């Protein structure tokens, strides 16, 4: 799969329960599991 996803830059303040730095496998799985548990999260990867 060579297709990349692109998302808009966050240009305003937002409030989340958990901020995750790093979009690797651990970050992605953490964000998914937190969302399933009802937690609002932000995944920031570079």
Enter the DSSP assignment of 37: T
Separation between Cα atoms, residue 24 and residue 20, nearest integer Å: 10
Confidence (pLDDT) at 6: 78
Mean pLDDT of the chain: 89
Tokens encoding 16? 């989340």
5 pLDDT exceeds 70? yes
Confidence (pLDDT) at 21: 93
Instruction: Look up the pTM and report it.
Output: 0.71
What is the separation of C-alpha 32 from the centre of its chain, rounded to a whole number of angstroms? 8
The 10s digit of each residue's pLDDT in 6-24 is 778 889 999 999 999 988 8
Separation between Cα atoms, residue 39 and residue 7, nearest integer Å: 20
45 pLDDT exceeds 90? no
């Amino acid at each position: 799969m060579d297709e990349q996803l692109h998302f808009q830059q966050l240009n305003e303040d937002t409030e989340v329960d958990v901020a995750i730095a790093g979009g690797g496998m651990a970050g992605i799985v953490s964000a998914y599991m937190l969302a399933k548990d009802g937690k609002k999260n932000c995944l920031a990867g570079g």
